[in-house]
Amino acid sequence: MDQKQLELSVLSHLLEGDERLYKAREKGVNAKSFTSQKSIYAFITEHVQNYSKLPSRETIEAVFTLSLPKTVDTEFCIDLLLKRELRRHMENVLTDGITMLSEDEPEKSLEFIQTNLGRIRRTGKYAFGFTDGDASERLEQLQQRKSLGKLFGSIFDLPVKRIPPGILIGIVGRLGVGKSYYLLRLLLNAYRKNKRVLLLSPEMTREEFEMRWDALTSQGVFSAEALLTGAVPKAAYEEWLKKVAERRDWITMDSHYGNPFTVSAIGSLIAEFNPEVVGIDGLPLLVSDTSGGEGWQEVKAISYGLQSLAVSRKVYILVTTQASRDAANATVPELHQIAYGDGFAQACSIVIALGFHKDEDKRYLAIPKNRFGKAFRPVEVPYKPDEGVIS
C-alpha cells in the first residue's frame, strides 16, 4: 500500500472518536509513525489539547485540501504503519553502520549497530492507561489474581500558603519510608480538586501503582493487600470502579514507548495529555537526554530540566528521590543528605523530607526548603496506607 494512502487511512480512523485515538496510541502510534502526513497528525493532537475534542473530518479536509478515505481496514492499516516505522528505524541504523564499515571502521561499525539495534524494540502496548476511566479493567485483573492464587510482586494540603503552578516539588527519604505513597497522597489531593494528573512510575508497574491508588482513593475500603491477593468483595469493588470510571483525568505510565523516561520525553507527554499536575516516582531512574557525565552531574541536569519544564508548561511537578546513607540515623533527611549531590535540592522550590518513626503507623515529616515562606521542622504524621490514611 502507498505510504501516503496508508497514513491517510489511519488518520481517518483516528478521527472517529477519542477512544480510537487512545487505542492507537496504546499500540504505539505516535508522531514518528508518520512521514508524509506528519503535519495532519500534529494538527489533530494540538486540536485535542486546545479544544478538548477531535477536529471533524470536514475541518481536516478543508485545512489540508484533501479527501480522507471513508472505509478503512483498521487493524491491518495500523499494524502496517507500525511495521514500516520499525523498518525505517532499522534501516537508518544499518545505513549508518555500513557507512562506518566502508570507512574501514569495522569495530566501530559493529559496536554502533549492536548498540543501536538493541535500543529498537518491536512496537508494543503504549505503557499508559487512564487510572480512573479504565478502572473497570481492574476487576478482571482482580479475578485473575484471585484465580491464580499468586502474589504479584493550599492544592496539595501542605503547610504552605501559596504554591503557584510552574514549580518542582521534591519528596526525599530513605528506602522503604513511604515516598511513593506520600507522592500518591499529594497527587490525590490535587485530583480531588478536579486537577488532571499524569503519573510516571519508572520504579513500579502501572498495575502495582493502581492497586495503591484504589486503596488510598477508597480510604482503605479495598486494601492494597486484599487487592494484591484478589480477596475483595467482587460486587462492591465493581460498583466502586464504575463510579471511578466516570472521570478520565488520571493517566498512569510506567515507561515511554517501552523506553526509560527522559526530560524531553516527559515534555512531549505533558504536551500530549495536558495535565496540571505531574508526579514522577523515582528520580534516579530517569535518563539524561545527553548522558555521559558523573552521577551527580546527571541528576543535576535532569533536576534543572524538570524545573525548566515545570516553569515553561506552568504545571506542578512532584518527584521522589533517595536520601543518602548519611541520613540513616537522622529524624528526617537534611538537604545535604539527598543522594547524588544537592543539585536536586537546588532545583526544587519545595522539598518534603520523610523519616521513620518508632511507631510503624507514623512517620516524621518536615519541609526543609520552602521558597514561598519558612521551613517546617519535623512533625509526627499518621501513616497507615492500607487503611487509606497518610497525612
Chain segment 303-313, per-residue pLDDT in tens: 999 999 999 88
Least Cα distance to 365 among 382, 350, 349, 348 occurs for 382
Residue 172 in contact with residue 353, Cβ under 8 Å? yes
> How much is the pLDDT for 135?
87
Mean pLDDT of the chain: 88
> What confidence category does residue 260 fall into, taking pLDDT thresholds of 50, 70 and 90?
confident
- Judge whether residue 294 has pLDDT over 80: no
Task: Please name each of the domains of the chain with its CATH number.
Answer: 1-126 (1.10.860), 128-390 (3.40.50.300)
Spatial separation of the C-alpha atoms in residues 44 and 7, rounded to whole Å: 13
> How much is the pLDDT for 153?
36
Spatial separation of the C-alpha atoms in residues 128 and 150, rounded to whole Å: 24
- Sequence-ordered list of residues with C-beta below 8 angstroms from that of 290, at least 6 positions apart, any chain: 301
Residue 342 in contact with residue 348, Cβ under 8 Å? no
Q: How many angstroms from the chain centroid is the CA of residue 46? A: 20
160-215 pLDDT, tens digit per residue, is 877 888 999 999 999 999 999 999 999 999 999 999 999 999 989 999 999 999 99
Q: Which cell numbers hold the place of 313?
A: 508548561
- Judge whether residue 115 has pLDDT over 80: no
- Sequence-ordered list of residues with C-beta below 8 angstroms from that of 12, at least 6 positions apart, any chain: 57, 68, 69, 70, 72
Least Cα distance to 44 among 72, 74, 73, 8 occurs for 8
Residue 368 in contact with residue 334, Cβ under 8 Å? yes
pTM of the model: 0.75
Q: Is 110 helix (H, G, I), strand (E, B) or coil?
A: helix
- Sequence-ordered list of residues with C-beta below 8 angstroms from that of 366, at least 6 positions apart, any chain: 331, 332, 352, 353, 355, 375, 376, 377, 378, 379
Residue 72 in contact with residue 12, Cβ under 8 Å? yes
Mode of pairing for the β-strands spanning 350-356 and 167-173:
parallel
- Judge whether residue 122 has pLDDT over 70: no
> How much is the pLDDT for 129?
75
20-59 pLDDT, tens digit per residue, is 888 888 788 888 899 999 999 999 988 887 888 899 999 9
Q: How many angstroms from the chain centroid is the CA of residue 67? A: 36
Least Cα distance to 216 among 191, 253, 194 occurs for 191
Residue 128 in contact with residue 253, Cβ under 8 Å? yes
Q: Which residue has the higher pLDDT, 164 or 115?
A: 164
Residue 98 in contact with residue 112, Cβ under 8 Å? no
Q: Which residue has the higher pLDDT, 162 or 330?
A: 330
Q: Where are the alpha helices (DSSP H) in 30-105?
A: 38-51, 57-64, 74-102
